[in-house]
Each structure stands twice: as structure tokens, then as C-alpha cells.
Amino acid sequence: MTESVVVIGGGAAGASAASRAKKLKPSAEVILIEATDMITHGPCAIPYYVGGIVKGKTQLVTYTPDVFERERGIKVYINSVAREIDVDKKVVFVERNGKSVEVKWDKLVIATGAIPSIPRVPGTNLKNVYTIRHPAYADKLLEDLSKALNVAIVGGSYIGLEMAEALLRIGKKVLLIEMESQLLPKALDKELAEIVAKEVLARGAELHLSEYLEEIVGSDRVKAVATNKDTYNVDAVILATGVKPNVDIAARAGIKLGITRAIDVNEYMETSGEGIYAAGDVAEKVHRVTGKRAWIPLAPSANKEGQVAGANAVSGRVLRFPGVVGTAVTKFFELYIARTGLSEREAVENGFRVESIVIRSRTKAHYYPNHSEAVIKMITESSTGRIIGAQVVGWEETVAMYIDIIAVAIERGMTIEDLFFSDLGYHPAVAPVWHPLIVAARVLSKGRF
């Protein structure tokens, strides 16, 4: 009998899982169920679509459902909402064309992604209140925002910052509200967040830190946002107040959730349900620095988790997902922002005794024109000198690449001495002879090297 692999969710993880399963077992029937009319979509492009950098909605996906079906031999059910999973009968109930359809599976991959966290305050259901969640809604978002003059963005993390840039680019007045006392509170420590804040102000946004939303004021349409400090007249609101794993269907089916409230999976991406895998933003991950469970919903790991789930679904336990170290990159206009590992705050919360340093370094040889400054924070475990985190901001794309070096260094347990002696490349147009990361390692050694 033909084995049937059903994947719920056509984003990064789901599409990867489906592709992998079909590739490894061409005889299997692989079905990809997607609620919208787009697959292989990611929300990462939306700010650039709104900001006019990316033109054309077709750009927002890697494959259309047609091409995906034809080229990969996967059945794609678009506009199909998975409603319930019956783990005993091994079926998913899917709402398609107004009807409920039973889709049978031998192996199931849950890749339902993440959904926006909506603050529990009055007015979030008004017109002109938006979340950034899926390219399928990007056109409507763009059209509506084009008409707005004053936009409040609630939340100063990745999406909030990227949307701030987008709206400034299309000439809107932007009010950015963040409840913590700094931007990117989960990503950066204060020193680097302050550089980002300066840039936000320099680009003309209004920035309100340590302010939280109390109400979105209006009847039908938004008129203002009220925070714990003041009320601001705006005609649109973007809620960039974080996301949460979209676990409803899994939870209702009795599939175990982890301490982060994402689906509990082992390194094979197996859930507690027999023959049921989870991958991507809906699944919990292991943080390779702490060894603890973490929920860090990002596309690169989603793709790999999908790859692992899809492979293991058809071939048994052939691949293991080792977890993540928390690498993330964003930018605000020309300021590149990247981080990996633990921030100092996270490290302390996780019981590490740490040393940390912030350095400023040229990005190229002192004599080479057009260099700029990279600001690097590096965090090590005091007792071992092991690198456990780093953050970088700078005005060149190359500084974002530094973080990849540190990601690998963290994964491999490198100490600052290992990094100091690492054979990093040098050319006057590309890096100073003492690479900025090596300078950071050296400063952390307190004179030892």
C-alpha cells in the first residue's frame, strides 16, 4: 500500500518536510495542506514589500503551488484549513471549498508555524489594526497603510523595527512603542540597543521606550493609541508584539506541548503522537548553549527541522536536529544588526557567570577608504573562557557576517583563546589585519594574549 505523508502548513518547515519526504520516498503520496493560496512563503519579506524594496507579490514566495506540485510531485491543497487531527484513525479533517474532507496519513508533519501574540487590551479588533503574519495579506496591508498618515507600531523587536523602516520609506509618520526600556530586548543587550535607538531617531521615527499599550482608541477605525504614559493620535496600528506557536490543532489532538508551550519534539522531530512529527515555528528547540528547551521561531532552523522531519517520516531515524544557538540578523536602513548565543541578560538568567566586553573596530584596514565602524559585544563564561554569545551592529553588510563565525564558534565550544588564534581572512578591503572578532577575544583575555 502506498504510504501517505501529510504535512500541515505550507511555510518553510512544511514545504521542506514535504519535499524531503517525497525525494527520499518517491512512492509515497505526499500531501501539503495550506490554509491560504500561497506556499513556501515567509513573513520576512513583508516589510520589504510594504517599503517598496520588493516589487510584486509573486516575489514573496519561492514556488507557486502549481510549480511545486508539478516539479516535486507533491499534492498541494491550498485554501484548505486543517481543523482536527484524529490520532487514532490517523486522519486530518480539512475544510476545503466549504466542505470537511478526511485526509488519511501514515505519517503526519505538523508545521503550523507561529501566530501573532495580541495584547489583551481594548480595541485590537478595530479596523486599521494589523499584524504581520503572512504574505497572503500583504497586498491589503500595503493598500491600507498607503492611506494612513500616522502609524503606531507596538513592539520594538525585529518585525517592529523592520516595519518602522518600511513605513518611513513610504513617507509615513512612525510612532514606535516598546514596553521594555530598550529596543530588541530579547536580542540585544542595552549597549548595542542604544545604537539602534539612535538610528531610529535619526531616521525620523518617534520612539517611546518603557511604554506599554493600554488601549487602541476608536470606534470602527483607529483614532489613537493610549499607553501607560500618554495618548497619541494615529490612523493605523501595527501590533508587532511577538508571536506564539500555533499549537491549537496539535494541543486538541492531545499532542504534548513543551515548557515553552510549543510542541515538544525530540531530536528526530518526533512528537508524543505516534507517527506524528512537528517542525518549524510550532516546534520547540534545544538551545545548544544552555542545553535547555527554547522557542526561537526563525526560518533557517524551520527549513532544517522540516528537512529532518520529512526524512525521518519516510526513512526512520536518519537525521537529528541538534538545536539552535539563537542566531538572528536584522537591519534598519543601513544599520545591520546581528546576534547569536545568549545575550548577557539571558546568560545571567540562565545562571552563567560571565565576562563581557563591547568594542568598536574598523571594518577594513585603516588606510583603505570607505571603512566604517563595527560595534561588537562578546560574552564568555567566566570559568572557562568559552564564548556563549555575541552581538554586532554596524553600517556595512559584512558586519552581519561576523555573527556566523561566532555561531560556529559557540557550537564548537570555542574559547576566546581558540578564537584569537583562528585563521580568519585578511585583506585591506575586507577586514583589518586584526579582525574585529579577534580584537574582541583579545580584550576579553585581559592581557593574557
Instruction: State how far the Cα of 345 lies from the Cα of 324, in Å rounded to an integer.
Output: 18
Contact segment (CB under 8 A) with a copy of itself among 67-75, 105-113, 205-213, 307-315 equals: 307-315
Chain positions 417 to 436 lying near a copy of itself, rule: CB under 8 A, are 418, 420-431, 433-435
Is 44 among the residues known to form the active site? Answer: yes
Q: Which of 24, 44, 45, 67 is catalytic?
A: 44
81 Cβ neighbours under 8 A, 6+ residues apart = 35, 94, 95, 96
User: 22: buried, middle or exposed (CB in 10 Å: 19+, 13-18, 0-12)?
Assistant: buried
Q: Which of 19, 340, 343, 380 binds a copy of itself (CB under 8 A)?
A: 340
Question: Which grid cell sits at 280?
Answer: 518549524
Closest CB to a copy of itself among 351 and 425? 425
Instruction: State how far the Cα of 222 lies from the Cα of 424, in Å rounded to an integer.
Output: 53
Tell me if 63 contacts a copy of itself by CB under 8 A.
Answer: no
Length of the chain: 449
Q: Which of 321, 335, 416, 441 binds a copy of itself (CB under 8 A)?
A: 321
Question: Which grid cell sits at 279?
Answer: 517542525
Tell me if 391 contacts a copy of itself by CB under 8 A.
Answer: no
Chain positions 267 to 296 lying near a copy of itself, rule: CB under 8 A, are 288
Question: Least separation, in Å, of the C-beta of 446 and a copy of itself?
Answer: 12
Tell me if 12 contacts a copy of itself by CB under 8 A.
Answer: yes
Question: Least separation, in Å, of the C-beta of 142 and a copy of itself?
Answer: 15
DSSP 187-221: T--HHHHHHHHHHHHHTT-EEEES--EEEEEEESE
How is the beta sheet containing 221-227 ordered, strand by strand?
213-219, 221-227, 231-233
Burial track 341-379 (b if 16+ CB lie within 10 A, e otherwise): bbbbbbbeeeebebbbbbbebbbbbeeeeebeebbbbbb
Tell me if 326 contacts a copy of itself by CB under 8 A.
Answer: yes
Q: Which of 70, 102, 300, 360 binds a copy of itself (CB under 8 A)?
A: 300
Asked if residues 225 and 154 have their Cβ atoms less than 8 Å apart, the reply is yes
Q: Which of 7, 328, 342, 388 binds a copy of itself (CB under 8 A)?
A: 328
Contact segment (CB under 8 A) with a copy of itself among 31-39, 42-50, 179-187, 268-276 equals: 42-50
Tell me if 449 contacts a copy of itself by CB under 8 A.
Answer: yes
Closest CB to a copy of itself among 137 and 368? 368
